[in-house]
Amino acid sequence: MIPIYIPYLNKKAKKYVSKCIETNWISSQGAYIHKFEKALAKYHKVKYCIATSSCTTALHLAIKSLNIGKGDEVICPDLTFLAPANMIVQSGAKLKLVDINSETLAIDHKQIEKKITKKTKAIMVVHQFGHSADMDPIMKIARKYNLKVIEDNAESIGGKYKGEKLGTIGDVATLSFYANKIITSGEGGAILTNSKKIAEKCYVLRDHGMSRTSNPIKRYMHIDLGFNYRMTNMQAAVGFSQLEIINKVLKKRNTQMLLYKKYLSQIGEIKVRSFKNWCSPVHWMTTLTINKKNLRNKLIYFLFKEGVDARPVINPVHQALHFKKYFNKKEFKNSINISKNSLHLPSSTYLKESEIKFICNKIKLFFSKNN
């Protein structure tokens, strides 16, 4: 079986984790936490980085750092992994969903304004599957209505919008280091911001709401209702080793994207993910859409039997059982269509060209049998 994704680790990961164990710095205190945060901030050219236990917890902190809660509304794309929507609701705010653009697969900025009310406080932007959202019009809308912008950059670390690194354009951004992301720490996430106020709030809330004073007595005073959203030193050690090789990883992944495009372009029954010229994409997963409806699941089952672990694209947020009754599916034609007819192909950084050819030949075989 060719798996959907395998983490791409180097020897330094083992070396750094071993150092954590040898020195007994294994939990949420230790040198690698600070090294990883500092290196991420430097890579993105932002002032502050706060490492967290996951991107989901980073999203929660980002929302809370903007003082968003009960009575507020946050706009979010309908086609995204469920975490952004869940964290908006977990924060006490009301979720307002917007359909996606069928080409970028990110939030359709042309539909944002009609969802804005006096209660709207922020726009959640998800840079989807390695492709940037169209940030200029989104930032223009945000300024017009005095809204905050949260960038969920879980899948697109290293990507750019008109030359600017994703995660550095809005007020606050989140990253993911789950095992199937561009770089990994196993589980883990981070918050990026240039705002000292936002950063300080995130640091406090991440650590049980404890004071950040250096005073050994007063530091254990709880000044806010916080959480335990901390990353461990061992996770940070793995993440730091990954960040050291990110340019190598991005180069390898870009080569893979071009190979997939080369072999998949020979198959007329599908559309391979395209990219806008203002976007410098990151290759997260190879995403393709089947032109003919009701064949996606058949293709996934066929590939699985042939030893290829393909995956369906995520379901729209409005279809989740706990959200379904609050939304009208007629508003989300693009997200429904893309979700029902699209899939991801195996995209491990380790993937060989021979394996890519094998996968593409199996797809070609499927359509020769289903024409």
Q: What was the pLDDT predicted at 219?
A: 83
pLDDT in tens, the chain (371 residues): 999 999 999 999 999 999 999 999 999 989 999 999 999 999 999 999 999 999 999 999 999 999 999 999 999 999 999 999 999 999 999 999 999 999 999 999 999 999 999 999 999 999 999 999 999 999 999 999 999 999 999 999 999 999 999 999 999 999 999 999 999 999 999 999 999 999 999 999 999 999 998 888 888 899 999 999 999 999 999 999 999 999 999 999 999 999 999 999 999 999 998 899 999 999 999 999 999 999 999 999 999 999 999 999 999 999 999 999 999 999 999 999 999 999 999 999 999 999 999 999 999 999 999 87
Cβ neighbors of 227 (< 8 A, separation 6 or more) are 57, 60, 61, 205, 206, 208, 209
Polymer length of the chain = 371
Rounded CA-CA distance 46/14 in Å is 28
CA quadruple 96, 100, 104, 109: dihedral sign: negative
Residues 144 and 124: beta-carbon distance below 8 Å: no
Q: What was the pLDDT predicted at 214?
A: 84
What is the b/e burial string over 127-162, where b = at least 16 CB atoms within 10 angstroms of the residue's CB? bbbbbbbbbeebbebbeeeebbbbbbbbbbbbbbbe
Residue listed under structure tokens 């990151």 = 282
Residue spans of beta strands (DSSP E) within 4-159: 48-52, 73-77, 94-98, 120-126, 148-152
CA 125 to chain centroid: 10
Q: What was the pLDDT predicted at 216?
A: 83
Q: What was the pLDDT predicted at 239?
A: 98
Which helix (H) or strand (E) is 153 found in, with range? none
Cβ neighbors of 28 (< 8 A, separation 6 or more) are 230, 231, 232, 233
Q: What was the pLDDT predicted at 213?
A: 86
Q: What was the pLDDT predicted at 142?
A: 98
**106: amino acid identity, one letter:** A
